[in-house]
Amino acid sequence: MITGQGIRKTFHTREGDTVEALAGVDVDVEKGEVFVLLGPSGSGKTTLLRCVAGLERPDEGELWLGDKLVFSKSKQTVIPPEKRNIGMVFQSYAIWPHLTVAQNIGLPLSKGRVNLPKHDVAERVRNALGMVGLEGMESRPAPLLSGGQQQRVALARAMAIEPEVMLMDEPLSNLDARLRQEVRTELRTLVKKVGATVLYVTHDQEEAMHLADRIAVMHQGQVLQTGSAEELYVRPADAVVAQFFGQINWIKGEVATGGAVDTSMGKLHVESANEFAKAQSVNAGVRPEDITLSVAAPIGAGRNVFMCEVLTRTFLGNHHVYTVQAGQEVLTVNDQSGEHLEGSVHAQVAPDRVHCFASGPSASVLDPMAQAIPRPS
């Protein structure tokens, strides 16, 4: 439904610098799919969405909406935004304060490219309000709406024009945390019910996991990996993907023989270690939930059991978060055993749960202080 090939976009700053926002991006969104662009601020996700909308013109590449070519540099094709049959929901809901709910939703239908008769506008407004659960609120003044209601009005306005594609740029970011959790569940249910094709931008990993059929992780103008939430979390193809898509402990080391990595903790066995050259510098990544802590040595303990010292323990309801030190490494561990551990403990890691990536330019993003998700947009 949305196909982009080789999309490039460069911006020039006032200081005369050149910023490559999109570096030859390919994207393919299927009909009826909720496709999320996930990445930190400056990764290019909003620029890509704006190119799809026609609000930015790429420097290179082609964009298709269904079987309609809407942009091509080589074919000199540029379809303006109003002719792309898209609905948009922005971070700012753009609710007109001097209008009622019905007037906010109906204005694009009566004054925009659709230009429907009054009777048809009223019917579409009623249908749209019914879909978002705001029946009977047609006459409500916009200033009397809560944040969640404003978000629903913005969504209803986008849906009322019956677009082929809906584009959403962080539409939940202005809601408080509790309301954001409620609305995102309703949002996915709604767009699936109407069969909408959605391209959704967010910097919030948890929001992406709740909403998406597939996720594209972006960084520095490139799509690093595309897949389901589970695929990206369990099998990250890149250290940046592993870093951004969930919390992870990074352990520096050098590849040894026998499928192992020499670290300050000791010899860490990694299933993928044999893919690297001996003595090659690598970053081994372990998710906090993939480390098991125990006072006694695990039964039949062999590989990947390390002695460590408990530094801190934090209770978070259904689990404890520990920080432990093993060798020179300080690790975060999510523990659901319910035990109160302190002092010297054993830490065990399954070899197949360790991600291994070559040290290189991407290592600069492997900063423990930058692991918190979500990040500011």
Average pLDDT on 89-112 reads 86
Residue 83 has pLDDT above 50, yes or no: yes
pLDDT band at 81 (very low <50, low <70, confident <90, very high): very high
Q: Which of 145, 140, 149, 159 is nearest to 101 (CA)?
A: 140
Sequence-separated (6 or more) residues with CB below 8 Å from residue 154? 89, 90, 93, 94, 95, 171
Q: Would strands 197-202 and 34-38 be described as parallel, antiparallel, or unpaired? A: parallel
Q: Are 287 and 246 in contact (CB under 8 A)?
A: yes
How far is Cα 175 from Cα 363, in angstroms, rounded to an integer?
A: 34
In this prediction, residue 208 carries a pLDDT of 94
Average pLDDT on 65-81 reads 95
Q: Which residue has the higher pLDDT, 112 or 32?
A: 32
SS3 4: strand
pLDDT band at 364 (very low <50, low <70, confident <90, very high): very low
pLDDT in tens, 270-310: 988 888 999 999 999 999 999 999 998 887 666 899 999 99
Long-range contacts of 151-154 (CB under 8 A, 24+ apart): 151/89, 151/93, 151/175, 151/183, 152/183, 153/93, 153/95, 153/101, 153/104, 153/105, 154/89, 154/90, 154/93, 154/94, 154/95
Q: Are 96 and 107 in contact (CB under 8 A)?
A: yes
pLDDT band at 360 (very low <50, low <70, confident <90, very high): low
How far is Cα 335 from Cα 369, in angstroms, rounded to an integer?
A: 21
SS3 343: coil
Domains, the chain, ordered by start: 2-234 (3.40.50.300), 248-368 (2.40.50.140)
Average per-residue pLDDT for the chain? 88
How far is Cα 142 from Cα 100, in angstroms, rounded to an integer?
A: 5
How far is Cα 85 from Cα 89, in angstroms, rounded to an integer?
A: 14
Element (H, E) at 200: strand 197-202
Residue 374 has pLDDT above 80, yes or no: no
Q: Which of 251, 245, 225 is nearest to 237 (CA)?
A: 225
Average pLDDT on 70-84 reads 94
Q: Are 212 and 35 in contact (CB under 8 A)?
A: yes
Locate tokens 């909720």: which residue? Answer: 34
pLDDT in tens, 9-68: 999 888 888 999 999 999 999 999 999 999 998 999 999 999 999 999 999 999 999 999
pLDDT in tens, 219-254: 999 999 999 999 999 999 989 999 888 889 999 999
Report how far apart, in Å, the C-alpha atoms of 6 and of each of 42, 62, 167 are. 19, 7, 20
Q: Rounded to two decimals, what is the model's pTM?
A: 0.86
Q: Are 187 and 166 in contact (CB under 8 A)?
A: no
Residue 110 has pLDDT above 60, yes or no: yes
| 141 upstream amide cis, omega within 30 of 0 | no
Radius of gyration of the chain (CA): 25
Q: Which of 109, 62, 57 is nearest to 80 (CA)?
A: 57
63 torsion bin: left (phi>0), alpha (psi -120 to 50), beta (else): beta
196 token code pair: 């909408």
Report how far apart, in Å, the C-alpha atoms of 185 and of each of 65, 179, 192, 232, 328 are. 27, 10, 11, 21, 42
Per-residue exposure over 272-304, b if at least 16 CB sit within 10 Å of its own CB, e if not: bbeebeeeeebbbbbbbebbbbbeeeeeeeeeb
In this prediction, residue 373 carries a pLDDT of 33
pLDDT in tens, 194-216: 888 999 999 999 999 999 999 99
In this prediction, residue 377 carries a pLDDT of 33
